[in-house]
Amino acid sequence: MQMNIKKILPLFLSIVLLISPSMTASAVRTDVEAVSLGVELSLFSESALLMEASTGEVIYEKNADERLEPASVTKVMSLLLICEALDEGVISLSDMVTGSDKASSMGGSQIWLEVGEQMSVDDMLKAMVVVSANDCTVAMSEHLAGSEESFVAKMNEKAAELGMKNTHFVNCTGLPVEGHYTCARDIAIMTRELLKHEVILNYTNIWMDSLRGGAMGLSNTNKLIRFYPGANGMKTGYTSSAKYCLSATAKRDGMQLIGAVMKAPTSDERFQDAKKLLDFGFANFSVYNTEVTELPEMRIKGGVKPYAPVEYAAKEILVAKGREKQIETYMQLLDEVKAPVKAGDVVGKMIYKIGEETVAEVDVVMSEDVSRMGFGDVIRRIFTGTMAM
């Protein structure tokens, strides 16, 4: 069967939130590299990476796969597992969590949780995000998994699932311990996954708050929340061996960026590096949101029905700023398919181009199953005059 290639009118811009898992790999990296190739940002941090969240495209990197101590940026993964449990209904924000001997004995950043003290999941999350409370992090790990060790096993399972190739967790807090490491790329990966759970933004956007009925004040360790336009997260980290780390997130004009920095010499230099990464992304890139348009039905040869609908998902495309206006969309479909067919079978592509360069492709798939005609179906079609030739 031959392919028909039809040029259709460029799709109008619209904001679409659904991204299909069936999308093919995008060639947009070519466009990203056209801007970032040869650009070397002056950074204090030993390792760094800038990622656009909706596409997962890496815009800039420096030693991004180097295994380093993440300090409390570890809690991004702890928070991800908690948010998954919330979204799945395993726990709720009103559930009460009890402080254990182990939780109350944690050093480093803490809210001095007492043994037997009860605090809601909502307040625990607030303490974890805003002041990086190690005691609350351990209490939550025990509440969810029975022990910190069991929770850490789940953290490592999730890291493997997400393709975090240079990560191994030994605890849920980020306190120094041998064999506990990650890298800037993996920090961006787990931060991107955490951003899919909107509940986390209720906490990462807090600048100042309180606990225990106002008796204990909280001030966010992530200074970007107050001083960087569009900042909406995510997590700071520091130990004497890890130095200053940060997963910084910000959103402007519909584009969500993630900047990961590791082993900055000072706290100020950590934030300077994060701002430099985010500024570079916002100044040079934008996200083009494609629109889903109605497509002609697919002819089904030998099917119980002669035609069936097809569909494709919207796609977000990262391009150099200004190039989004040059994108044209092309449809490529098979003339027909032979029954039986199943929903999800690929029957064509939507192709997005800038000039001769393909910047993205999306599979066009069958929307429903269509079985092969039996003898009775053939007879009925003959008599009703609906036989497809």
Query: Hey, which residues are catalytic here?
Result: 72, 75, 132
Alpha-carbon span 181 to 183, nearest angstrom: 7
Place of tokens 């993205």: 360
Q: How many CB atoms lie within 10 A of CB 165?
A: 13
As a 3-state breakdown, the chain gives helix, strand, coil percent values, each rounded to 5, of 30, 30, 40
Alpha helices (runs of H) in the chain, residue ranges in sequence order:
29-36, 75-87, 101-104, 121-131, 134-145, 148-161, 184-195, 201-204, 224-227, 267-284, 375-384
Structure tokens at 248: 């910084």
The type of residue at 137 is: T
Give burial (CB, 10 Å; 0-12/13-18/19+) of 133: buried
Alpha-carbon span 132 to 146, nearest angstrom: 21
